[in-house]
């Protein structure tokens, strides 16, 4: 049993004020917050690919099927979100404004370590909501380190703000176990390791991973063939951030996955 559930069991967690803040005045004792899953990122020859499905759920209900979980923070940084979208999007806006303010006042980019720690602080400041079970966010952060070794950097976080740098891939959200399984298999036993994939093959792998996760996890949208809804895919390289168009993703999906 998690800590918020223990508080509810003993009647010590009052969720009515939260419900009223959501405009639900005759709410039951418990409500289910909206959750956004699943996200992944991995390094390949061209930089870092970051992708996320489009589904947002509340319990067993699909709230929205076109959520954007891959957010541009600055010209070379991306924050992908899993968890409560309202909290995550607010964190992304605060982080974006913080980096803009630093760049304009200091006339230089914030260091990679500074960006990583700034996101950690936002997560730590949100821990009160995490303990209430209403504001859990578990993001992935990808950027390019021009001031250091000139290589892409990739991090994942826990809900308390601890950050972990990875050398190959990361995935979070309810569908992440299936995604990690696909990425591990391809990296270990595929024809090429992840860091040797070309962009086209990297996109194919991301689509296969999310489609596989959708088969095992109802909260993961994967690729909606009937509605023609495809994941958001962005790539960070030395040249900045490139967003793949839906037509490009649809063509690649039809040719190599479907």
Active-site residue flag, 57: no
Answer whether residue 242 shows pLDDT above 60.
yes
Q: Is the dihedral of CA 54, 38, 247, 153 positive or negative?
A: positive
Cα(254)–Cα(252) distance, rounded to whole angstroms? 6
- Which residues is 72 bridged to in the sheet? 78
Specify the pLDDT at position 26.
45
Is residue 16 included in any domain, yes or no?
no
Inside any domain, residue 20? no
Q: Is 27 within the bounds of a domain?
A: no
Average pLDDT over residues 207-218: 95
Taking only the tens place, the pLDDT of each residue in 15-38 is: 554 444 444 444 445 557 777 789
Domains in the chain, number: 1
Catalytic residue among 37, 38, 87, 212: 37
Our measurement of the distance from residue 251's CA atom to the centroid of its chain's CA atoms, rounded to an integer in Å, reads: 24
Strand partners, 243: 234
Q: What is the pLDDT of residue 21?
A: 41
Q: Tokens 């992708």, residue? A: 51
Q: Is residue 10 part of a domain?
A: no
What is the per-residue pLDDT across 220-239, written as a single tens digit (0 to 9) for each? 999 998 889 999 999 999 99
DSSP 3-state assignment of 205? helix
State the DSSP string of 45-92. TTEEEEEE---EEETTEEEES----EEEEETTEEEE--B-HHHHHHHH
CB of 135 closer than 8 Å to CB of 124: no
CATH number at residue 134: 3.60.20.10
Q: Output helix, strand, coil percentages for the chain, rounded to the nearest 5.
A: 40, 25, 35
Give the model's pLDDT for residue 20: 44
pTM for this structure? 0.87
Its domain, for residue 74, covers 34-256
| pLDDT in the model for residue 122 | 97
In a domain, residue 201? The reply is yes
Looking at residue 4, what is its pLDDT? Answer: 61
């Amino acid at each position: 049993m998690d800590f918020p559930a223990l508080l509810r069991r003993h009647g010590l967690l009052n969720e009515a004020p939260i419900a009223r803040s959501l405009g639900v005045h005759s709410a039951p004792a418990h409500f289910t917050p909206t959750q956004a899953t699943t996200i992944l990122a991995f390094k390949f020859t061209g930089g870092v690919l970051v992708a996320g499905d489009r589904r947002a759920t509340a319990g067993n209900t699909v709230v929205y099927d076109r959520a954007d979980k891959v957010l541009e923070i600055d010209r070379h940084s991306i924050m992908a979100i899993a968890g409560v979208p309202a909290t995550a999007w607010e964190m992304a806006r605060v982080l974006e404004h913080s980096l803009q303010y630093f760049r304009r006042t200091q006339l230089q980019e914030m260091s990679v370590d500074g960006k990583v720690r700034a996101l950690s602080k936002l997560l730590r400041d949100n821990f009160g909501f995490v303990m209430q079970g209403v504001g859990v966010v578990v993001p992935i952060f990808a950027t390019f380190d021009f001031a250091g070794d000139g290589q892409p950097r990739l991090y994942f976080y826990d809900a308390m703000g601890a950050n972990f740098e990875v050398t190959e891939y990361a995935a979070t959200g309810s569908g992440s176990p299936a995604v990690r399984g696909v990425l591990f298999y391809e990296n270990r036993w595929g024809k090429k390791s992840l860091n040797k994939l070309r962009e086209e093959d990297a996109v194919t792998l991301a689509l296969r991973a999310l489609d596989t996760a959708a088969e095992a996890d109802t909260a993961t949208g994967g690729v909606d063939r009937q509605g023609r809804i495809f994941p958001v895919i962005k790539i960070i390289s030395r040249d900045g951030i490139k967003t793949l168009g839906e037509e490009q993703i649809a063509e690649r999906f039809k040719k190599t996955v479907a």
